[in-house]
């Protein structure tokens, strides 16, 4: 390992050890001497990032306590059983749609696991899938007629329908891409939809699964990162992308074709930074020599992802009160307005009297100050957290990542709009 993580940002060397173990599990690199470390902290981080099943395959001679290794082996065994059960249930969904003559593709999930050395390395969660736009309603009706239960109210701007069957969650997407730019959202979704009937069939756990052609599947995985990045995501989603790249982008010709798609859909800069980060710090090898993004910025991105945990659960615990104030908004005016609105909600007196917004703002500022004191966050610490937030936002800007404060697009009445 050629880098040392910033001790002021990350406690001890837990993250460095996890990255070394990941590289060994995925690429069979040398773990090296581990030495003293906090294994309880390491185990907590591994859980947040949902990567225990991957680390179960670390070389047997690596200096890992037996109790920790046994936990990871048990996680891998559980994941293998769970994945098999889910894919078997998924078969029924695919058969129902096939019988109704509705083409379908699985997104993420099994479509990601095909790139891993072993399928249990990739934990399965919800089943995301998509059908042609004109078959969306018929697909919903066919599934509900065969025991799938709709678990939320319908909406004209819904991104997907959420259905339950045998304890598993299925998300039937009406549109997939979440972006600030309507033209990018439309281009990527058009690529996905137009390739549903060009799907390829892969085998997973002995089951046949229809997935998108490789390059379009790669765009889906990249957009998955874009969708969750600003609110935090985990190493698992980054590893999905890295394993795709390692298995599919194996020549300049393939890279050129994929790069055209990435630029067309507004994902070019994000792909450049995320792939550079994977090469610098996660052991990814590339025959394409263009991945030389600023190493310090990639390191900042890595730190953000490591401390976020899976879909931001770790990050929420770390800076929820900062996020409450900042709300991913960019301007001072936006923050002032938000605090005045929150103050108006929390101060009962504003509901009895017609008080100026400034009073609500001051009231909310006092509330935040008390909350920070209660949690042991000093003004100086808060200032540092704000600066870190700004630095992260600057990196997001350079990557062209979606920014929540700029509003997202939805698919409505046959077109994309904010």
pLDDT tens, 37-54?
Answer: 999 999 999 999 999 999
Where residue 55 falls (left for φ over 0; alpha for ψ -120 to 50; beta otherwise) is: alpha
* CA–CA gap between residue 239 and residue 52 (Å, rounded): 13
Length of the chain: 418
pLDDT tens, 164-201?
Answer: 999 999 999 999 999 999 999 999 999 999 999 999 99
pLDDT tens, 297-310?
Answer: 999 999 999 988 76
Work out the end-to-end distance of the chain between its first and last CA atoms, rounded to an integer number of angstroms: 44
* Of 9 and 90, the one with more pLDDT: 90
pLDDT tens, 67-82?
Answer: 999 999 999 999 999 9
* CA–CA gap between residue 45 and residue 51 (Å, rounded): 9
**What's the CA angle centered on 347, arms 344 and 348, to 5 degrees?**
110
Nearest to 277 by CA among 258, 255, 304: 304
Name beta bridge partners: 210: 201
Nearest to 235 by CA among 322, 186, 333, 303: 303
């Amino acid at each position: 390992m050629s880098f040392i993580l910033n001790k002021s940002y990350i406690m001890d060397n837990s993250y460095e050890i996890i990255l070394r173990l990941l590289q060994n599990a995925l690429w069979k690199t040398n773990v090296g001497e581990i030495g003293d470390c906090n294994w309880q902290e390491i185990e907590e981080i591994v859980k947040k990032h949902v990567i225990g099943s991957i680390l179960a395959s670390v070389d047997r001679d690596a200096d890992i306590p037996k109790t920790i290794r046994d936990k990871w082996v048990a996680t891998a065994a559980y994941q293998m059983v769970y994945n098999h059960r889910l894919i078997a249930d998924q078969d029924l969904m695919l058969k129902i749609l096939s019988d109704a003559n509705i083409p379908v593709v699985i997104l993420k999930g099994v479509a990601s696991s095909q790139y891993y050395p072993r399928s249990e390395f990739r934990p399965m969660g919800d089943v995301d899938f998509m059908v042609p736009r004109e078959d969306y309603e018929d697909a919903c009706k066919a599934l509900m007629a065969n025991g799938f239960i709709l678990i939320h109210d319908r909406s004209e701007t819904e991104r997907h329908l959420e259905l339950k069957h045998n304890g598993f969650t299925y998300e039937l997407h009406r549109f997939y891409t979440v972006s600030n730019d309507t033209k990018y959202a439309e281009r990527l979704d058009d690529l996905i939809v137009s390739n549903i009937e060009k799907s390829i069939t892969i085998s997973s756990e002995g089951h046949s699964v229809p997935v998108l052609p490789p390059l379009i599947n790669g765009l889906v995985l990249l957009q998955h990162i874009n969708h969750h990045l600003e609110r935090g995501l985990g190493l698992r989603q980054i590893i999905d992308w890295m394993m795709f790249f390692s298995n599919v982008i194996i020549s300049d010709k393939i890279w050129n074709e994929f790069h055209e798609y990435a630029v067309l859909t507004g994902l070019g800069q994000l792909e450049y930074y995320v792939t550079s980060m994977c090469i610098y710090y996660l052991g990814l090898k590339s025959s394409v020599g263009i991945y030389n993004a600023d190493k310090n910025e990639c390191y900042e991105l890595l730190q953000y992802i490591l401390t976020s945990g899976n879909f931001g659960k770790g990050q929420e615990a770390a800076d929820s009160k900062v996020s409450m104030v900042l709300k991913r908004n960019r301007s001072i005016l936006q923050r002032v307005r938000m605090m005045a609105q929150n103050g108006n909600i929390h101060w009962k007196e504003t509901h009895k009297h017609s008080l100026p917004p400034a009073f609500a703002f001051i009231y909310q500022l006092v509330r935040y100050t008390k909350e920070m004191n209660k949690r042991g966050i000093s003004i100086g610490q808060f200032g540092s957290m704000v600066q870190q937030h700004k630095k992260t936002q600057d990196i997001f800007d350079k990557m062209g990542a979606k920014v929540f404060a700029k509003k997202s697009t939805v698919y409505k009445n046959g077109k994309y709009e904010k």
